[in-house]
Amino acid sequence: MSEMNRPPIVTILGHVDHGKTTLLDFIRKSAVAVSEHGGITQHIGAYQITTNSKLITFIDTPGHAAFEKMRSRGAKVADIAVLVVAADDGVMPQTIEAVKHIQEAKVPLIVAVNKIDLPEIDKNIQLAKIKKQLSDQKINLEEYGGDVPLVLLSAKTGEGVDKLLEMILLVSELHEIKGDPTLPAAGVVIEANLDKFKGPVATILIRNGTLKKGDQVMLGEAKGKVRGLFDFNGKVLDWAGPSTPVEVSGLEAVPAVGATLGELAEVKEAEAIQSLVDKLKQGDAKTLKVIIKADKQGSLEAIQASLEKMNEEKKVIDFIYTGTGDIGDENVKLASTVGAIVIGFNAKLVPTAAKLAETEHVLVRTYNIIYELLDDIEEVVQTLLEVGQLEEVLGKANIIAEFPHGKNEKIAGCRMIEGLIAKGQRVRVVREGEVIGETKLKFLKKVKEEVNKVEKGNDCGMLFDPPVDFMIGDVVESFRVL
């Protein structure tokens, strides 16, 4: 281990119009070194400044309500959060939301009271009001014996900004923020897009270790080899150490914002797998399981935010997976496994995935107008609420005979009476209108040959896995839950 102090990673959160962007812009323009590429700072979602000969990394989190999730992730990848509160407005709804993100992320907090230059406010009265509001949100300020410092500033004039930067460095020292540059890189994707010249690119905030040109990386489902490393000034880098934001090219696909690299990725992948296993064990058929693919991360975030709003009262939408890029075989296979539908927005369904969707009976819908997508999903949700679950019966067969198989198994001799039944489908055995068991087909035989499907009018033999204690006269149904 070669741990050493690393620059603090800071996110600025707060209510809309309270001055977050103005503050970030002032810090950037006053403290960022002039680029050797003409002084133009490219927007990669984060940048570094130098103050008192020390570096601080800022995450430039978006402020629009549709991007709540991205702001939440911004708080979780940061070492320190700055909560901006306007002196004239005080604590507002998005301020409270930001406080929730910060408290959940368990990161040190600094309160920055902005707009103290406004002539029409009584600073003492407003400050007393803000302190009371913060106390109501369980924020314990230093002057009341707590550990949260408060700084007065004006992002417009720059008054107090230097004190804020000093406070960030002080909090960083108190919390001993460390990193080990000798380790393989571990970090988080904070922005990603498809560049018409560079191809898929991502801004990775290196939390620990060092990322080098030529390194193989895996960011969620997107993999690649690092062919280009660029800082926020567009300068070409050979490597990037702890707390450094870098734009990376050489990826095979656009990764999701929030995708992780290195050790962080292993933890996240394990959690995701466990979450999926839990869902499968629960087998909740009263939810609409969805997989969403979109062309851009911004579109994806907006769609998911709108669907989550739709999902607030009745938790009927289950987000199995969301990502950017085309709808591929892996998306259809996952949908088939968990009984989900696949939604694409400006995303193509690749030919092999289209064939697989047909074989696996997976419903895929693609859209290029967002309100049409939302209208369709809302209609499905309403139907789901009315009937308790939304499903489609694909085929039915009467059990007309039974035959012993092996030691403890038996084959159901069936006659198809409706639709088709295929291997891989979910099937259930129904007796006098009641389901006695849900299972899958171990094999499906027509005469003596094993087949993949049997249609109406044909006789067949079915072996269930797991076994179901069926009787002659029962009905076998194949179905899918939408």
pTM of the model: 0.55
Architecture per CATH, 186-264: Beta Barrel (2.40)
The amino acid occupying position 244 is: T
What is residue 359's three-state secondary structure?
helix
Question: Fold identical between 4-179 and 186-264?
Answer: no
Residues 6+ apart with CB under 8 A from 360: 332, 333, 335, 336, 424
Query: CA angle at residue 353 from 318 to 279, to 5 degrees?
Result: 25
What is residue 94's three-state secondary structure?
helix
Per-residue model confidence as pLDDT tens for the chain (482 residues): 567 899 999 988 888 788 888 898 898 887 654 443 333 445 677 889 998 889 999 987 554 333 344 444 455 578 999 999 999 989 988 888 888 878 877 889 999 999 999 988 888 889 999 999 999 998 999 888 889 999 999 999 999 999 999 999 999 999 889 888 988 898 888 888 888 888 999 999 998 899 999 999 988 778 899 999 998 888 999 999 999 999 999 999 998 877 888 755 434 434 433 443 343 334 444 577 889 999 888 888 888 888 888 877 667 788 888 888 889 888 888 888 777 888 999 888 888 888 888 777 788 888 888 877 887 787 777 665 555 555 678 889 999 999 888 778 899 999 999 888 988 788 999 988 888 888 889 889 988 888 888 988 899 999 998 889 899 999 999 987 65
- Strands 211-212 and 239-240, by their bridges, are antiparallel
CA 181 to mean position of chain CA atoms: 28
* CATH number listed for the domain at residues 391-481: 2.40.30.10
What is residue 186's three-state secondary structure?
strand
| Sheet-wide strand order for 288-294 | 317-324, 288-294, 341-345, 364-367
Spell out the domain ranges in the chain. Answer: 4-179, 186-264, 283-387, 391-481
Query: Helix H segments across 117-232?
Result: 123-136, 161-174
CA–CA dist 24, 433 (Å, integer): 64
CA–CA dist 122, 125 (Å, integer): 6
> Token pair for residue 254?
């656009």
In DSSP notation, 287-336 reads SEEEEEEESSHHHHHHHHHHHHHHTSSS--EEEEEEEES-B-HHHHHHHH
Which of these, 420, 387, 386, 414, lies nearest to 400 by C-alpha position?
414
* CATH number listed for the domain at residues 283-387: 3.40.50.10050
* CATH number listed for the domain at residues 4-179: 3.40.50.300
pLDDT in tens, 344-403: 998 888 888 888 887 777 888 888 888 778 877 877 776 655 555 556 788 899 999 998
Which residues partner with 459 through β-bridges? 415
| 210 DSSP 8-state letter | B
